[in-house]
Structure 1
């Protein structure tokens, strides 16, 4: 089987003065696009074969910025700059492709539209009708000479844009936050509709699995939607809402282990844990194995027809007249009354904590803070100092929960018979050090004063 990767150059500047199209350099955003696609190309094994690049400045710079992200790869030995690839015509590109040597099994082309997208659709009608700057298409072809490739004789097996590989790039195009200057019911409805749009817009990035921030934001919007509506239920009755919230909860829970693994692996990359290189590598590979399994399972769930039906049902529900009718009964006064009740309950739970309280008790305290936070979000004019204090406490208890989660994974690593005894011993010792850090965070949590009043 042969593999063909078609990449459009990253975002380029418009020509000015006597600058020709061939001389157009990349914009700053284009350089970022090219950089974030480097791990995508590496993961897809697109750089293991021959790389052919148009001689235009914007395609050359796209390649250079990719290569800069992979200093361990000697890409200069496999790249070919070809004037024939500076074309926008499918016939010219197809003629070039059919002239490739037979030994070229993997080929990456960095070139131009519309030639690239037209070629992809010539091979497979399932290919997208457009190809944003910096995007890549992966096509597989039969193992026969390039010269004999025929129309419709290939299969599109992958496609990815920079906005699906990088959350910062996605954020530029993401649905905008709603205007808060509206009545309570309209504010809540706009908030939930925005969160729904975000969930759906984040899904391609979650499936791509390149930037873990997509999963984090996907999880946040699921949980925030659920929490907002639980807050609504605490104030007024909404027929059918509780049942739908259970489904949102199930969807959010399906991301829990994968998110914990992402955070743990990111921490391993950024910090220097007290582990030998061999143990660190063994732990990382073991965690990455679980990460791949969890990601595959989540992708299967997101591609299932019942998932789309469930989310579409949720959108119809929050847009229904019955839900609007329930929201119309809300008022800032009623929301504030429930908020004060939750603050009082949180303060009671905080006062009841002792130094030997279980880790679960501190986790429950963190969850109660989130419920207060989401309820406070229903009141756009809530005081900023109060919200800042909530966020500070959430960070403290969140750090505690992260340490607890790492201990759970270290325990699982040590319990695995396939891992070496020395690796297990080092991880067990690290777990004990994490317990000391947890001890200090526990002291900080117990020293917290009651929450201030939620003044407007």
Structure 2
């Protein structure tokens, strides 16, 4: 099995003055693109074979940025700068490919469009119809000598763009938030439409699974859409709204475990848990295996036809005349009336809370605060001090939930029969030690004043 990786150089500057095309350097964005793709190339094992790079400045700098990100690799020993790759003609690139030595089983090419893209389509006509800067395509060729490669003789197995790998790069091209609208109905409709556009735009990054921030933002927009919808539904009834909100809830819940694992792994990378190196490694590998399993399941769901149909139904629903007419009846007064009811309910739940209450009671309080927060966001007249207090309470209750979630995963690891008893014991001890910070948060939460004391 042979592997061919085609990478287009990252974003370059336009020529100026007497600069030739060959001399064009990378833009700052291009350098970020190349750096983001380094991990992808490593994960795809694209750097384990021969690396061929065009002699143009922009392709050389693309390689340099990749090499900087992976200092443990001696990529300079594998790279070949080839003048023949400074071409925009796919026929020349095909001839170059067929002249590769047979011992080269993995080949990474960093070159130029349109030659690279035309070659990709020649190898496999299912290749994307465009190849943006910094993108990489991975082809496999079954037991064929390079000189024997013919049209359609390869299979595209993976393709990624920098904007699907790095959330900061994606953010620059992401759908822009709606401009401020004074009337409540227009503002809510614009908010829901923007969240829908964000959900769809984030999907490639979620599927790529490289930057966990894509999943986080995807989850946030799903949950915000549902929360806004529930807030509206609490004020006024819209036919069919409940069914739509149930679908959004189902989609958001499908991301919960994967997001929790992402956060746990990220925290373990930043802190030093009270574990031996062996146990830490064992726990990390177990979490990563769980992460891969859940990511695969999520990708299957996102690629299923019914998923797209559900979201398209949601978009049509929020743009419908029925929803528009119902939202037009919303007034700050009606929003505040429901908000006051939720605040009163929260204050009752808070008063009933004690230090020895079950974790579930704290979680329910957190859900109530979130419902208040999203409802308050619908009303432009909500005082800023009240919103600040809401965010503070969400933060405390969110920290508490994170600790409980961590304990849940440690319980699951400890209960696994395949794990070493010593590792299980260390994780059980770590789980018990988390009760101390949980108690500290419990005290802060129980000591919170009723919302009725905060101007709303």
2:354 counterpart SS class: coil
Match of 2:391 in 1: 391
1:261-410 matched pairs, under 5 angstroms: 261-410=261-410
Question: Deviations 1:288-329 (Å, cap 9, x if unpaired)?
Answer: 010000000000001111111111111111111111111111
Shift of 1:205: 0.4
Contact residue 265 and residue 287 of structure 1 kept, 8 A: yes
1:20-35 matched pairs, under 5 angstroms: 20-35=20-35
Match of 2:12 in 1: 12
1:257 aligns with 2:257: yes
- Number of corresponding residues: 456
1:244 aligns with 2:241: no
Distance 1:182-1:145 versus aligned 2 partners, 3 A rule: same
Question: Deviations 1:306-363 (Å, cap 9, x if unpaired)?
Answer: 1111111111111111111111111111111111211121111111110101111111
Q: Distance in 2 between matches of 1:178 and 1:112?
A: 37
1:137 aligns with 2:150: no
Moved more, 252-261 or 40-49: 40-49
2:235 counterpart SS class: coil
Shift of 1:381: 4.2
Moved more, 184-193 or 123-132: 123-132
1:51-66 matched pairs, under 5 angstroms: 51-66=51-66
Q: Distance in 2 between matches of 1:404 and 1:434?
A: 8
Q: Distance in 1 between matches of 2:411 and 2:208?
A: 29
Match of 2:105 in 1: 105
Q: TM-score, normalised by structure 2?
A: 0.98
Match of 1:194 in 2: 194
Match of 1:203 in 2: 203
Shift of 1:428: 1.3
Match of 1:217 in 2: 217
Shift of 1:69: 1.1
Q: Distance in 1 between matches of 2:317 and 2:454?
A: 31
Match of 1:151 in 2: 151
Contact residue 340 and residue 454 of structure 1 kept, 8 A: no
Moved more, 121-130 or 373-382: 373-382
Q: Distance in 2 between matches of 1:453 and 1:164?
A: 46
Distance 1:73-1:387 versus aligned 2 partners, 3 A rule: same
Contact residue 37 and residue 165 of structure 2 kept, 8 A: yes
Contact residue 385 and residue 455 of structure 2 kept, 8 A: no
Could you list the runs of 5+ residues in structure 1 that have no partner in the other structure?
none
Q: Distance in 2 between matches of 1:293 and 1:29?
A: 33
Match of 2:166 in 1: 166
Contact residue 5 and residue 138 of structure 1 kept, 8 A: yes
Contact residue 164 and residue 204 of structure 1 kept, 8 A: yes
Q: Distance in 1 between matches of 2:70 and 2:441?
A: 39
Shift of 1:455: 5.8
Q: Distance in 2 between matches of 1:210 and 1:388?
A: 33
Q: Distance in 2 between matches of 1:243 and 1:320?
A: 15
1:157 counterpart SS class: strand
Q: TM-score, normalised by structure 1?
A: 0.98
Question: Deviations 1:370-413 (Å, cap 9, x if unpaired)?
Answer: 11111112123433222222111111111110110010110111
1:425-440 matched pairs, under 5 angstroms: 425-440=425-440
Shift of 1:452: 5.7
Distance 1:336-1:453 versus aligned 2 partners, 3 A rule: farther
Contact residue 180 and residue 380 of structure 1 kept, 8 A: no
Q: Distance in 2 between matches of 1:454 and 1:183?
A: 26
Moved more, 320-329 or 204-213: 320-329
Question: Deviations 1:271-292 (Å, cap 9, x if unpaired)?
Answer: 1111111110000000001000
Question: Deviations 1:394-442 (Å, cap 9, x if unpaired)?
Answer: 1111111011001011011111111111111111111122111111111
Q: Distance in 1 between matches of 2:146 and 2:273?
A: 50
Q: Distance in 1 between matches of 2:144 and 2:420?
A: 46
Q: Distance in 2 between matches of 1:146 and 1:379?
A: 65
Q: Distance in 2 between matches of 1:383 and 1:178?
A: 22
Shift of 1:22: 1.3
Question: Deviations 1:154-174 (Å, cap 9, x if unpaired)?
Answer: 222111111100111111111
Contact residue 9 and residue 62 of structure 2 kept, 8 A: yes
